[in-house]
Amino acid sequence: MSDARLEQLSQDDCLRRLREGSVGRIAFIVDDNPIVLPVNYRFVEPDSGPLLAVRTRPGNVIDQASTQVAFEIDSIDPSNHQGWSVLVRGELLHAYPSSPMIREGFDSDSWLADRDAWLLIDPWAITGRELRAGESLWHVHPTEYL
């Protein structure tokens, strides 16, 4: 490969990819140590601005996380040496499951039982980047020879 390039994703591209996804990773600090966990999420866009909603079990480690968090989604294509990622940095807020916004705006189906706590990430930054493969020096994909 030659001429591979790393490009910034536009805000619109970042938001589109967040809308399309449903699983990402949340990063936060617990007891002065970083932790990253996979979570289901829902991207919602109320009039006040975009939010990421994470459903979790009350009292678990995410429910006790610090208020400053990071959240990432990505897609990687190792065979073609390309991929993209979207990073959301923001404040983690607790939501009340009985509020109309929660009942009407968020997916009520959880992959696991007892996930009755809703956390919201109120973004202060949404950024993304994409690694695009350069032109191939071969006319066929290298895996076709294996």
Q: For 38-95, how does the pLDDT look when each residue is reduced to its tens digit (9 = 90+)?
A: 988 889 888 888 999 887 777 788 877 889 999 999 999 988 888 999 999 999 998 7
pLDDT reported for residue 1: 46
**CATH superfamily of this structure's domain 5-145:** Electron Transport, Fmn-binding Protein; Chain A (2.30.110.10)
How many residues are listed for the chain in this entry?
A: 146
Domain layout of the chain by residue ranges? 5-145
Residues 6+ apart with CB under 8 A from 84: 9, 17, 74, 75, 128, 129, 130, 131
